[in-house]
Amino acid sequence: MGMGAFRSTSGCGWEHYATKKVPPPPVRGNPDPTNYQVLFVEEIGTYLIATLVYHDCTNYEGRKILLFYNVTEEQLLKQERIDPHFCDSKEHISPIARFEPTERGLIMARTLAASF
């Protein structure tokens, strides 16, 4: 997946391929936005920290710590797909930040959310 000026050149996750009716290329370890489990959720003000595991992702055992703005736990749990990549879409929620899935990453997410 290429990067250009702070955004992915492949569009927003797999939605790019869905609009063109072309199957996504096989990328070993790339998270499937429909194959995940929510492990942990914490609300801090208008921010939501979520730890998800993407079952087909290989790095960090598929764990991702995502930070969302103006999203509730209820809204997050209703999602059928959560793409961990950043995207400016009106069709689905997107994280505003992602952190390494470690204790240090969780502390960083909490610190950022609490600073606003």
Give pLDDT tens digits for 24-65.
555 567 889 999 999 999 999 999 999 999 999 888 899 999
Name the average pLDDT for the chain: 84
- pTM confidence score: 0.76
The per-residue pLDDT for range 78-105, each reduced to its tens digit, is 999 999 999 888 888 999 999 999 999 9
For residue 28, what are the CA distances in angstroms to 21, 31, 42, 85? 21, 9, 30, 16
Nearest-angstrom CA–CA distance, 12 and 19: 11
For residue 95, what are the CA distances in angstroms to 53, 54, 59, 82, 88? 15, 15, 19, 9, 10
Share of the chain above pLDDT 90, in %: 61
pLDDT reading at 7 higher than 60: no
User: What is the per-residue pLDDT for 27?
Assistant: 58
